[in-house]
Amino acid sequence: MNKLTNRLRVYRTAAALTQAALAERVRVSRKTINTIENAIFIPSTVLALRLAAVFDCHVEDIFALAPDDPNSNFRPNQ
């Protein structure tokens, strides 16, 4: 079974944003950002689009299905 993974923390830290600052920009709580980064919460499509807009990238650059294959090149926290 595939799992949704993300690179949100990578994008956020590269942009020098705190969780609170990012949360304010996308109109959610800091806890929501934290739970997304830790793969506890899957954001809505609208929130995923807002996050991508902050970083001027595609949703797929931040979020992806991790394949079942352990040899996959996708690494969520790189």
Q: 1 has which bridge partners?
A: none
pTM beyond 0.85: no
In a domain, residue 71? The reply is no
**Which domain range does residue 22 map to?**
3-65
In a domain, residue 70? The reply is no
Strands (E), the chain: 3-6, 63-66
What total number of domains does the chain contain?
1
Amino acid found at 44: S
CA distance 37 to 10: 9
In a domain, residue 73? The reply is no
* Helix/strand number for the chain, H first, E second: 5, 2
In a domain, residue 61? The reply is yes
Question: Average pLDDT for residues 59-64, to the nearest whole number?
Answer: 97
User: For residues 52 and 71, which has the higher predicted lDDT (pLDDT)?
Assistant: 52
Domain with residue 57: its CATH number is 1.10.260.40
